[in-house]
Amino acid sequence: MEDILYAPWRTEYVSGKKIEGCVFCHISKNRDKDEDFHILHRDEKCFVVMNKYPYTPGHFMIIPHLHTDKLEVLESETWLHMSALAQKSVRLLKEGFGAHGVNIGMNLGAAGGAGIAEHIHMHLVPRFNRDTNFMTSIVETRVYSTDFEKIYKKIKSLIPKYF
């Protein structure tokens, strides 16, 4: 008998309408769909968006509006702004969301592990004591312990206090 792990939340990913071009530029240009795209914050240089397929609950990204795959050509002012947003985000995740730690990272280029290599983005992954279990280690499957929409609403409600 074979074991089956159901993941109904991935149906949209598998069967949903594919966005033509850069998904991050699409999100950047469609301010009227911030709730649909799970935008947490938006300003003149960047936007902060929940990761649709998170590593852990509360995983989100900081993304510049400028379309580039090269960190080395990003204006220093934008990089410093992203860094300031990262500091605020870490504080939000630790103090407001209860994370025990946070991983921050950028995968630059397909060879560097970027799933969306054409547009740089910074990941903020909240970590919790004992958040890795045998599922992740043995069968490369993550168990997401809470509802994505609830997490989005929780973090979105913290933005005014921390940003």
Two tokens, residue 158 = 């913290």
Whole-number Cα distances in Å, 83 to 45, 66, 88, 105, 126: 12, 16, 9, 11, 17
Q: Is residue 81 within 8 Å of residue 44, measured between CB atoms?
A: no
Two tokens, residue 42 = 């938006």
Tell me the C-alpha distance between 158 and 143, whole Å: 25
Q: Which of 38, 59, 121, 123 is catalytic?
A: 121
Tell me the C-alpha distance between 57 and 68, whole Å: 28
Tell me the C-alpha distance between 163 and 145, whole Å: 27
Annotated active-site residue 121? The verdict is yes
- Catalytic residue set: 121
